[in-house]
Amino acid sequence: MNSSVHKMDTTPLVDSGYYETATAAIRGEAKRLLASGEVAAVIGYTAGRRKGSAQPVILTDADRADSLVFSPACVNNLALYLTKAKKEVSKQGKLAIVAKGCDLKALAGLMGESQLKRENLHIIGIACAGVHGSGVAPGEPLSAATIARKCRECSVHTPEGTDSVAGELPALEPLTALELAELARLEALTPAERWAFWKEQFSRCIRCMACRQVCPFCYCEQCLCDRNRPQGVETTPRPAGNMGWHIVRAMHLAGRCAGCAECERSCPMDIPLNLLNRKMAAELKELYGHEAGMQPQEKGPLAQYKDDDDQSFIK
Ligand code: SF4
Ligand code: SF4
Ligand code: SF4
């Protein structure tokens, strides 16, 4: 058995041919689907303006399928473009979407919330070795130094239940689970110390709402946190409002968050939002045996009421 990689070295974790094979498979499938009229559009990734970067794209023309790519820069969770609020996308008809394993969990969750129907989607899954963490220069090879923290402990490298799978997963060396270690460190703190930790983290929040805009599950057309008549949560970046916003965010996503970590990646203040997401997910698993996004037609425990629900928290 391989020992875990502890140091942040820059040795490439995969051969560049792996990404080329996945890219070729995505292009071939997209071309076939668009040319036959099986789908109205393909949501995938294309090269960005900076060399080595990538960005989401919606293609409707089979002749442009060769502009699709898969690389370590394909960080976005494209499920974001499929919710009911993005009507300009969903009204086009049946769509194909390129999805990494962690994005698939979001698709499954959105199906459970009646935002999507499986029969309206053609899912091109990716056998995914990993993508870049935030702040990595585009074009850098995937390495222990550049890989996203979520990918260090990924359990969904090989997608299941998709219509096709692009690429072949290479042998992957185990990496140290940094996020899990940080969670364990937080768990070992007293409640007062944990409160102080999060208070300090949230004090940096500038309420830019990037974390909300990038989340596939924050699809309400009117967010409670934007309302001012009556005002639900103070909107200026001050301690009380910041704490209110983060509690609302955590509670609204508990049992729904797919763990794609897009919120954390997009946060300009480096607030470790995925730690909080993971803590909430662990609580839901312990209390209700629930894991978000494992089954497409599952309702989260906080979205339903049962007579025999645990009432012990009411004092
Ligand atoms: S978490 Fe897994 S599926 Fe998601 S990008 Fe990382 S390696 Fe790929
Ligand atoms: S809360 Fe963050 S990690 Fe969870 S689904 Fe939304 S963007 Fe992804
Ligand atoms: S992205 Fe970061 S700074 Fe912006 S609202 Fe969310 S937590 Fe606050």
Give 243-296 pLDDT, tens digit per residue: 999 999 999 999 899 999 999 999 999 999 999 999 999 888 888 887 876 665
pLDDT at position 227 is 80
Q: Which of 42-56, 85-99, 118-132 has the lowest mean pLDDT?
A: 85-99
Greater pLDDT, 9 or 123: 123
pLDDT at position 1 is 36
Q: Whose CA is nearest to atom 1 of ligand 2?
A: 257
- Asked if the model's pLDDT at residue 6 lies above 70, the reply is no
Q: Provide, for the chain, the percentages of residues in helix, strand and coil under a 3-state DSSP scheme, each rounded to the nearest 5.
A: 40, 10, 50
Ligand that comes closest to the CA of residue 204: 3
Q: Whose CA is nearest to atom 7 of ligand 2?
A: 215
- The proportion of the chain whose per-residue pLDDT surpasses 90, expressed as a percent, equals 70
pLDDT at position 5 is 44
Q: pLDDT digits over 85-107, tens only?
A: 788 887 888 999 999 999 999 99
Atom of ligand 2 nearest to the CA of 106: 5
| Ligand 3 binding pocket includes 30 (Cβ within 6 Å) | no
| Ligand 3 binding pocket includes 223 (Cβ within 6 Å) | no
Greater pLDDT, 16 or 98: 98
Average pLDDT (64-72) is 97
pTM metric for this prediction: 0.90
Helix, strand, or coil (residue 84): coil
- The proportion of the chain whose per-residue pLDDT surpasses 70, expressed as a percent, equals 95
Helix axes 239-253, 191-203, angle to 10 degrees: 110
| Ligand 2 binding pocket includes 73 (Cβ within 6 Å) | no
pLDDT at position 298 is 56
Q: Is residue 207 a contact partner of residue 249, using CB atoms and an 8 Å limit?
A: no
Atom of ligand 1 nearest to the CA of 151: 6
List C-alpha distances in Å: 138 to 9, 113, 250, 267, 277.
17, 35, 31, 18, 27
| Ligand 3 binding pocket includes 276 (Cβ within 6 Å) | no
Model confidence at 73, in pLDDT bands (50, 70, 90)? very high
Q: How far is CA 184 from the centre of its chain?
A: 22
Model confidence at 8, in pLDDT bands (50, 70, 90)? confident
- Asked if the model's pLDDT at residue 7 lies above 60, the reply is no
Q: Degrees (nearest 5) of the Cα angle 42, 46, 49?
A: 150
Q: pLDDT digits over 136-160, tens only?
A: 999 999 999 999 999 999 999 999 9
Q: pLDDT digits over 181-223, tens only?
A: 999 999 999 999 999 999 999 999 999 999 999 999 999 888 8
What's the gap in Å between 127 CA and the centre of ligand 2?
A: 21
Ligand that comes closest to the CA of residue 269: 3
pLDDT at position 201 is 96
What's the gap in Å between 57 CA and the centre of ligand 1?
A: 19
Tell me the HSE value of 54 on the side-chain side, using a 13 A CA sphere: 23
Please choose from 78, 134, 150 the residue to mutate so as to test ligand 1's pocket, defined by most ligand atoms within 8 A of CB: 150
Atom of ligand 2 nearest to the CA of 264: 2
d(CA 79, CA 76): 9
Q: Which of 20-24, 31-35, 278-282 has the lowest mean pLDDT?
A: 278-282
Q: What mean pLDDT, rounded, does the chain reach? A: 90
Atom of ligand 3 nearest to the CA of 208: 4
d(CA 240, CA 271): 17
Q: Whose CA is nearest to atom 2 of ligand 1?
A: 154
